[in-house]
Structure 1
Amino acid sequence: MSQVSRRTLVRGAVVGATALAAGPALNIGQASAAAFVKGADISWLPQMEAGGYTFRNSSGTQQDLFTILKGYGITAVRLRTFVSPSSDPSNGHCSIDETAALAKRAKAAGMQVMIDYHFGDTWNSVGVQNPPAAWASMSYAQMLDAMYDYVFHTMNVVKANGVTPVWVQIGNEINTGICRPTGALAYHPDQMTGLLNAAHDMVKTVFPSASVLIHLAQPQKYDAIKAFLDAYVAHGGKWDITAFSSYGSASAAPGIVGNMNSARQTYGKPVMQVEFGGRVDRPDATRAALEAYITNLKSIGGLGLFYWEPEGYSPFTSYNMGAWDASTRRPTTVMNGFLNA
């Protein structure tokens, strides 16, 4: 499909879908606690399995990771995708073909799926928002076309694998914008919004029912959250759910979730926590924090919480905020937080 016809389609069908999505947004956020989503980002799983890493349940029996997670009430997975990743096990992979294949496995396991676009060749986060190498020298107009093409293509790859994502996150921890400097919040909020709206519209073209998430980090810094959302709204930004990352302690959870609630009330969109984690060597404290976040999120009508890479363990990764014991290959007591809350 040509770029011109795609944009024509966006102006028709997608505008209608967006209007429908905008109407019931607060109703989604006011869903009952029974609908609260408990999820996990497990994007490292294929690389770990390829490296011979296995997983045991709490009794010590080796099982498929999906089976173990379901035993803790996990019903959804979040899967990132990079544009042109390297073959590095920890910092690469996650091409759309790999991500779609993992999404297909998740669907077969009875899980709901969230696709997490980083719009880079490797990690993008609150402090780093680098465009894919192939986009780096593009003008804004060229990058806008690339965004339309990329999201349209990748969503269709997911569709070809028989998966309909419930949620699609456009950008990862985008407090300072995306594909900087072209889409930097500080310099080009209009271009930032244009790129994100292009992604939004292509998601809705392929999957009209999918909820599109804008993802921001560090909700404890509410002024920065407000600065982004004010600029995004002012330039016509489109989204369905405001998503957050937070790795705070149990004692910090009420205040941090309170800030999420302020965003919910101010901008009229339901909220979700798509990243949480805590020290693997302090499992009791991490479990308490997980329970505190879930409890507080439920109290404000939050949609759910996803643990970031609970299955990651040494020596595959030096990341120390998973929820698996490297020596026993069993989940730690942290995972009981999903059941306790």
Structure 2
Amino acid sequence: MRKTIWKSMILSTLAVGSFAFPVPASAAVQVNPVPGLRQDFIKGADVSMLPEMEKNGAVFYDVDGTKMDELQIMKNHGVNWIRVRIWNDPKYGVLGGGGYTDEQRALELAKRAKAIGLKVLVDLHYSDGWADPGQQYTPHAWKNDSPQKLEQDVYDFTRKIVQDFRQQGTLPDMMQIGNEVKNGMLWPVGKLPAKDGGKAFFRLMASGLKAVRDLDPDHKIKLMIHLPDGGDNDVYRKFFDMLVKDNGVNDFDVIGFSYYPFWHGSLQDLQKNLDDVSARYGKEVVVAETAYGFTTDNYDQEKNHYGPAEARRSGFTATVQGQASGLRGVMSDLAAVPDGRGLGLFYWEPDWYAVPGAGWKAGSGNNWENLSMFDQNGKALDSWDVFRDVSDETAPVVPVTVTEMDEPEAEGSTGIPVKLPQSVLVTFSDEHQEMLPIVWKDSAPVYDKDGDYSVSGSVEKIDAPISCDVTIKPKANLLQNGDFESLSLDGWTVTGDKWTAQPTSGKGDAKGEGSLHYWGGTPYQFTMSQEVMGLTPGKYTVQVSAQGKEDSSKFCLFLIGDNGEKKTAEISTTGWNQWRTVKIADVEIKNGKAVVGVDMKGAPDKWGSVDNFKLYRQEDSKAAK
């Protein structure tokens, strides 16, 4: 798609809401203050990688180039909390990677933080390495213990942590019992879902909570339970209904959310979830993890989590201003939680720029450096100022204006209604982006000759005209967004485990700029489909190309004709960047309708991508010859 840029004409002025505003000449990054922000609002950062980075030679500079301790840089820009994770015995986890975050390192970080007036959140993983929805493994020291003994293990381990921090004079201000525990912890005993309704897992949680309360009867330490998928209200209701209502585990203060906008939905999704969960369970809420990218560049050999597709899904451009505006949006959501229950947020690893030796596991690189808040040389980005500026009630509020809008394109065949894009990507002066609906003068044009055409319409929300260039040619692909070059799922419907299937970009993962990528750390299943209407009677072919890990996963292309018969073709993958094309041909369509797509039943760690979906009328193909 091409882009239309407004250099001076202001098309509209929108309600500022959660957004930042244009950058005046005197500031590199500037944001509007957030109304209703608590005086004690948590502006935190997870700095668990810091000791490993410093060990490997990392040096940090403030925005003016002054070399400085990284914790002091954060405080200078308004950060008031740190978060540190604790793994049981990292030598059995990722062999020293991921920051080798044992208790000793956490104690040292807490001591440094408290010395300069920062508060501390301790995140107990109860594992020897990374704990998240796809991996919650019992640590080596406990792996042969019974369910009852594991409860005691959790109690003793947690109690020791509290005692050690207290003895050092750095009692935590908040503690997490587990990390992203949607699927339980201490697998297999504490894995969810479970035949016992999760009772074994919830007893483990209760044991950890009790260990803290026994040493802290005055509740000086806030206790948090933390889940991923911050925009998915169903996940939170299901989990906390079981925890609180079904199992009576309620002696905690805070519900924590991981919210990465390129994985977990929009800010609107987050807001609805924060509001509902805090009211439903009577708890305070914290975004325990979030991040926005400042670039899509990569500064080492490790493939990054964040690229062009993720930038587009995040709702903010991959710029320093976009990073600041995205963070402000999360803060605004938290400030709006009723009854002041939105406590604040923690940015996950803003200091983790690419430093050789400080990888996500031993021997690997950094897949996070373009989501950090330091550049590739360790210099702080201007986006750090968002932590300070959101509380500046004296700052002016400046309206947000449109700066750029994509110009859509479509193609089709003679005699068949062309499927026009129903929305367009619009960029605003604060670097936030929205997909806005389009109203076309002719929503399904039909042409009787090959050639180039144009359809006009309007984007009503911003009162702007728009046009779509339409190309009519033989053997045209009748699917919308079949090549995912828009790095979106426009035109497609995904059901099942939606989070496992996302647009991506990258050499080898796509045949062009974009593709549909899939992966799951646990068994998963999804269907992606597109319905096509107005087809001319005749025989049709559907095809798709795929690459990925070779395993026993069940994966097929399908086409459902207008008689309801579903034809399928198995898709097999043989390795990364080994593309294979699968076709279903000679499907008779008489009444103008077809549904095409893929069904995936993925084994754990099944990864790969599909690209270049095509549906075409075979008679058109012959005519083209």
Query: TM-score, normalised to structure 1's length?
Result: 0.87
1:266-288 C-alpha deviation (Å, 9 max, x unpaired): 11111011111122312332221
Distance in 2, Cα, partners of 1:256 & 1:84: 34
Tell me the distance in 2 between the aligned counterparts of 1:110 and 1:186: 42
Question: Which of the residues 246, 254, 272 maps onto 2:259?
Answer: 246
The answer to whether the 8 A contact 1:324-1:332 is kept is: yes
Answering whether residue 375 of structure 2 is matched by residue 322 of structure 1, we say: no
Paired amino acid for 1:197: A
Matched, 1:53 2:58: yes
Aligned to 2:137: 130
- Distance in 2, matches of 1:36 and 1:98, equals 26
Q: Which has the higher strand share?
A: 2
Does 107-116 or 145-154 show the bigger shift? 145-154
**1:171–1:215 CA contact under 8 A, matched in 2:** yes
The residue identity in structure 2 corresponding to 1:260 is: L
Segments ≥4 residues shifted beyond 4 Å: none
Q: Which residue of 2 aligns with 1:24?
A: none
**199-208 vs 295-304, greater mean Cα deviation:** 199-208
**Residue identity opposite 1:178 in structure 2:** M
Partner of 1:201: 210
Say yes or no: does 1:152 pair with 2:159.
yes
Match of 1:307 among 308, 329, 347: 347
Matching residue within 267, 270, 277 for 1:256: 270
Partner of 1:177: 184
Over residues 136-165 of structure 1, what are the superposed CA-to-partner deviations in whole Å (9 max), with x where a residue is unaligned?
Answer: 222101111111111111211111211111
What letter is aligned with 1:330? K
Indicate conservation of the 8 Å contact 1:241/1:270, yes or no.
yes
Is 1:236 the counterpart of 2:248? The answer is: yes
In structure 1, distance between residues paired with 2:206 and 2:181: 14
Q: Share of identical aligned residues, percent?
A: 29
Whether contact under 8 Å (2:176, 2:225) holds in the other structure is: yes
Identify which range, 285-294 or 241-250, moves more after superposition.
Answer: 241-250
Q: CA deviation at 1:222?
A: 1.5
2:287 matched to 1:280? Answer: no
1:96 matched to 2:103: yes
Query: Which of 46, 49, 71 is 1:44 aligned to?
Result: 49
**Residue 191 of structure 1, CA deviation:** 1.2
1-side partners of 2:82 and 2:95: how far apart? 22
> What is residue 218 of structure 1 aligned with on the other side?
229
Q: Determine whether 1:333 maps to 2:364.
A: no
Indicate the residue corresponding to 1:12 in structure 2.
none
The AA in structure 2 aligned to 1:120 is: S
Partner of 2:477: none
Q: Shift of the alpha carbon at 1:84?
A: 0.7
SS of residue paired to 2:181: coil
- Matched to 1:159, the amino acid is R
Residues 206, 280 of structure 1: CA spacing in aligned structure 2 closer, same or farther, 3 A cutoff? farther
Aligned counterparts of 1:155 and 1:133: Cα–Cα separation in 2 = 22
Q: Which whole-Å CA distance do the structure 2 matches of 1:80 and 1:304 have between them?
A: 18
What is the one-letter code of the residue matched to 1:306?
A: F
Q: In 2 relative to 1, CA 203–251 (structure 1 residues): closer, same or farther, beyond 3 Å?
A: closer
* Whole-Å separation in 1 of the counterparts to 2:43 and 2:88: 27
C-alpha contact (below 8 Å) 1:81/1:115 kept by paired residues: yes
What's the counterpart of residue 31 of structure 2? none
Residue type at the aligned position of 1:259 = N
Pair 71,89 (structure 1): closer, same or farther in 2 beyond 3 Å: farther
Kindly indicate whether residue 332 of structure 2 is the aligned counterpart of residue 295 of structure 1: yes
Partner of residue 80, structure 1: 85
Does the 8 Å contact 2:136/2:187 carry over to 1? yes
**Distance (whole Å) between structure 2 residues aligned to residue 129 and residue 116 of structure 1:** 14
CA distance in 1, matches of 2:62, 2:265: 29
Task: In structure 1, list runs of 5 or more residues that go unmatched.
Answer: 1-30
- CA distance in 2 between counterparts of 1:128 and 1:220 reads 21
1:109 equivalent to 2:120? Answer no
Residue 269 to residue 114, structure 1, CA distance change in 2 (3 Å): same
How far the C-alpha of 1:261 sits from its partner, in A, is 1.3
User: Could you say which residue in structure 1 is the equivalent of 2:394?
Assistant: none
Confirm or deny: 8 A CA contact 2:260 2:289 kept in the other structure: yes
Distance 1:226 1:296 in 2: 19
Secondary structure at the aligned position of 1:169 is classed as strand
1:224-246 deviations in Å (ceiling 9; x for gaps): 11111111011111311101110
Cα gap change, 1:264 to 1:149, in 2 (>3 Å): same
C-alpha separation between the residues in 2 aligned to 1:149 and 1:92? 24
Q: Is the 8 A contact 1:254 1:293 kept in 2?
A: no
Larger radius of gyration: 2
Opposite residue 78 of structure 1, the aligned amino acid is R
Aligned pair 1:66/2:78, yes or no? no
Given candidates 185, 190, 200, the residue that maps to 1:191 is 200
TM-aligned CA deviation for residue 257 of structure 1? 2.2
Provide the rounded CA distance (Å) in 1 between the counterparts of 2:188 and 2:282.
29
Q: CA RMSD in A?
A: 1.8
Deviation per CA, 1:15-40: give whole Å up to 9, x if none: xxxxxxxxxxxxxxxx9622211010
**Distance in 2 of aligned mates of 1:140 and 1:127:** 21
Checking the alignment, whether the CA contact within 8 Å between 2:267 and 2:330 is kept in structure 1 is yes
- Report deviation, 1:65: 1.0
1:26-45 alignment to 2 at 5 Å?
Answer: 33-45=38-50
